Chain A
Amino acid sequence: MSLLSIKGLTKDFKALRALDDLSLEVQRNEVYGFIGRNGAGKTTTINIIMGLLHGDGGEIYLDGEPVDMHDINHRRRIGYVPDVPAFPRYLKAREFLRFACEAHEIDPTQHEARIETVLRDVGLEAGDRKIGTFSRGMKQRLAIAQALVHKPELLIMDEPTSALDPIGRKDVLDIIARLKNTMTVFYSTHILDDAQKVCDRIGLIDRGKLLLEASVASIMRRDKTFRYYVEAENDADDVLKKLKAIDLVREAFIEAHGITFEVASQEALKDVVRTLVDADVSMTTLTRKAKTLEDVFIEVLDENHA
Chain B
Amino acid sequence: MKTMLRYDFTYLWKTFKFVVMGGLGFFLAGLSVLTARFMPEIFRLAFADSDIIIDLPDPTVMDAYEQFFSNFTDLFVIVVIFLMVAFFTRDETAGHAPLIFSKPLRRRNYILTKSLWMVVTVFATLLMSGLVFMYYTAFLFDGLDMARFMLSLFALGVFIIFLLHIALFFTVWTKTYLAPVGLTFLVFLLVFSLLNMLQRGVFRFFPNQLMRYPLRYLQGEVSGGVLWATIAIAIGLSAGLLLATIAKFEEKELA
Using a CB–CB distance below 8 Å, which chain A residues touch chain B? 43, 47, 50-54, 70, 72-73, 75-76, 78, 80, 82, 84-88, 90-91, 95, 99-100, 102-105, 143, 146
| A103 proximity list for chain B (CB < 8 A) | 3, 100, 103-105
Task: Give the CA-CA distance A88 to B96 in the complex, in Å.
Answer: 7
26 contacts between A and B (CB under 8 A): A43-B255, A47-B98, A50-B101, A52-B97, A52-B101, A53-B254, A53-B255, A54-B251, A70-B250, A72-B106, A75-B103, A75-B104, A76-B104, A82-B99, A82-B102, A86-B94, A86-B95, A86-B96, A86-B98, A86-B99, A87-B99, A88-B11, A90-B10, A90-B14, A95-B10, A105-B104
Name the residue of chain B whose CB is nearest to the CB of A96: B99
How many residues of B are counted as interface, with CB atoms below 8 angstroms from the partner's CB atoms? 26
- Tell me the B207-255 residues at the A interface (CB within 8 Å): 250-251, 253-255
| A102 proximity list for chain B (CB < 8 A) | 2-3, 6
Instruction: Please judge, given known A-B contacts A90-B14, A90-B15, A95-B10, whether A50 and B102 are in contact too, CB under 8 Å.
Output: yes
Decide: A52 and B94 in contact? CB cutoff 8 A.
Answer: no
| B7 proximity list for chain A (CB < 8 A) | 99
Decide: B99 and A91 in contact? CB cutoff 8 A.
Answer: no
| B96 proximity list for chain A (CB < 8 A) | 86-88
Task: Give the CA-CA distance A100 to B105 in the complex, in Å.
Answer: 10
- Tell me the B63-120 residues at the A interface (CB within 8 Å): 94-106
Among B6, B102, B254, the residue within 8 A (CB) of A80 is B102
Task: Give the CA-CA distance A99 to B5 in the complex, in Å.
Answer: 11
Closest 3 CB pairs of A and B: A86-B95, A103-B103, A80-B102
Name the residue of chain B whose CB is nearest to the CB of A72: B104
Task: Give the CA-CA distance A227 to B103 in the complex, in Å.
Answer: 48
Instruction: Give the tally of cross-chain contacts (CB within 8 A).
Output: 73
Decide: B10 and A91 in contact? CB cutoff 8 A.
Answer: yes
| A99 proximity list for chain B (CB < 8 A) | 3, 6-7
The secondary-structure label for the interface of chain A is loop
Decide: A53 and B253 in contact? CB cutoff 8 A.
Answer: yes
Interface centre among A43, A50, A105 (most CB of B within 10 A): A50
| B104 proximity list for chain A (CB < 8 A) | 72-73, 75-76, 103-105
Task: Give the CA-CA distance A84 to B101 in the complex, in Å.
Answer: 15
Task: Give the CA-CA distance A143 to B105 in the complex, in Å.
Answer: 18
In the complex, how many angstroms separate the beta carbon of B12 from the nearest chain A beta carbon? 11
Interface centre among B102, B104, B105, B251 (most CB of A within 10 A): B102
Among A54, A84, A91, A143, the residue within 8 A (CB) of B253 is A54
Task: Give the CA-CA distance A70 to B252 in the complex, in Å.
Answer: 11
Decide: B98 and A82 in contact? CB cutoff 8 A.
Answer: yes
Task: Give the CA-CA distance A29 to B255 in the complex, in Å.
Answer: 28
Decide: B95 and A84 in contact? CB cutoff 8 A.
Answer: yes
Instruction: Please judge, given known A-B contacts A54-B253, A90-B11, A99-B7, whether A104 and B99 are in contact too, CB under 8 Å.
Output: no
Decide: B101 and A85 in contact? CB cutoff 8 A.
Answer: no
In the complex, how many angstroms separate the beta carbon of B218 from the nearest chain A beta carbon? 41
| A82 proximity list for chain B (CB < 8 A) | 98-99, 102
Decide: B255 and A47 in contact? CB cutoff 8 A.
Answer: yes
Decide: A52 and B253 in contact? CB cutoff 8 A.
Answer: yes
Task: Give the CA-CA distance A76 to B15 in the complex, in Å.
Answer: 30
Among B3, B94, B98, B103, the residue within 8 A (CB) of A88 is B94
| A78 proximity list for chain B (CB < 8 A) | 102
Decide: B98 and A52 in contact? CB cutoff 8 A.
Answer: yes
Besides A52-B254, A87-B96, A90-B14, 4 new A-B residue pairs in contact (Cβ under 8 A), listed by A number: A47-B255, A84-B95, A99-B3, A103-B3
In the complex, how many angstroms separate the beta carbon of A60 from the nearest chain B beta carbon? 14
| A85 proximity list for chain B (CB < 8 A) | 99
Decide: B14 and A80 in contact? CB cutoff 8 A.
Answer: no
